[in-house]
Amino acid sequence: MPEGHSVHRLARQFADCFAGQALAVSSPQGRFAAGAAALDGAVLEGARAHGKQLFLDFAGDRVLRSHLGLYGAWSFGGTERFRGASSIGAPRRIGEREDDDDAPADGPLSVPPPVGAVRVRLVGEEGWADLRGPSLCVIETRAEADAARARLGPDPLDPAADPEPFLTALARSRRPVGALLMDQAVVAGIGNIFRAESLFRRGVDPAAPGRSLDPATAEALWAENVALMRTGVRLGRIVTTDPVDRPGIPEERAWPDHAHYAYGRTGLPCRRCGTPVAAAPLEARTLYWCPSCQR
């Protein structure tokens, strides 16, 4: 499932490439036909993200709110003047590509036929965006969208976020901290990778009840996710290991070949202490941790 950094990159791309334009909106798949008809021709006024949800604000008090879920992705294309990632979200084989080697020659926009089950297609002046496989895709008023956003926890990628609701939720809960980090009503945008890696980097046992964490540790866990997710936005991928200090090397090449300390490394030696990395299900998702480093 795409984590919060990907959705913030989506919001930035929509704002940069489509804001202020009247968009042609359609539903090639047909499952969003009525919603597409209601948005067709409307001006995109802005784009914002909160956690894993994307809010596209259209003129006329209309918001297209979407959640990519496990399999959703936005893909993009356009003239050679269109700049941005060609795909953001799942499936993993697509990833977030920044190249534009396949961009058509300079000239008028020519939109290709849709490929696959495209729920929504947005077409602007220089490019298009296709949404496939979302778990949520709805039109709401601004008030309805804001109410949905208010039900989410604070977003570590929001510069104005107040971490206090997150800290309070931890301090009051007997649930494992590993479960609380994945609860979008507690904190928005953290997925399985950021959960595993932030807990590892702070040496926190994922099974520890939230209320057992001292305030300094809880605050450090928030700060860790802020830092890791900001790096994900900059690089367009999740890298949670520390960069190699090599002067003159671009940031995207400053990390070692391995991207994670614990996530996906079941049975392999911990990169810090050598203890085999453990894995177990926790609320339907696989949790990874080092039994030694995270006592």
The Cβ-side half-sphere exposure at 98, using a 13 Å CA radius, reads: 8
Indicate which residue of 81, 211, 271, 285 is catalytic.
Answer: 285
Indicate which residue of 2, 154, 163, 206 is catalytic.
Answer: 2
Active site annotation includes 52: yes
Indicate which residue of 48, 52, 65, 121 is catalytic.
Answer: 52
Active site annotation includes 112: no
Active site annotation includes 285: yes
Residue 21 CA to residue 123 CA, distance in Å, equals 9
Percentage helix, strand, coil for the chain under 3-state DSSP, each rounded to 5: 25, 20, 50
Phi-psi label, residue 8: left if phi above 0, alpha if psi -120 to 50, beta otherwise: alpha
Cβ atoms 178, 287 nearer than 8 A: yes
> Under DSSP, is residue 34 helix (H, G, I), strand (E, B) or coil?
helix
Instruction: Name which of 95, 92, 128, 122 is nearest 110 in CA terms.
Output: 128
Q: 239 Cβ partners below 8 Å, 6+ apart? A: 231, 232, 255, 259
Active site annotation includes 251: no
CA gyration radius for the chain? 20
Using CA atoms, how far residue 19 sits from 12, 44, 83, 184, in Å, is 10, 5, 14, 28
Cβ atoms 262, 288 nearer than 8 A: yes
2 alpha carbon, distance to own chain's centre = 5
Indicate which residue of 3, 96, 197, 224 is catalytic.
Answer: 3
Query: From the CB of residue 223, how many other CB atoms can be counted at a distance below 10 Å?
Result: 14
Q: 104 Cβ partners below 8 Å, 6+ apart? A: 79, 80, 110
Q: Which residues are catalytic?
A: 2-3, 52, 285
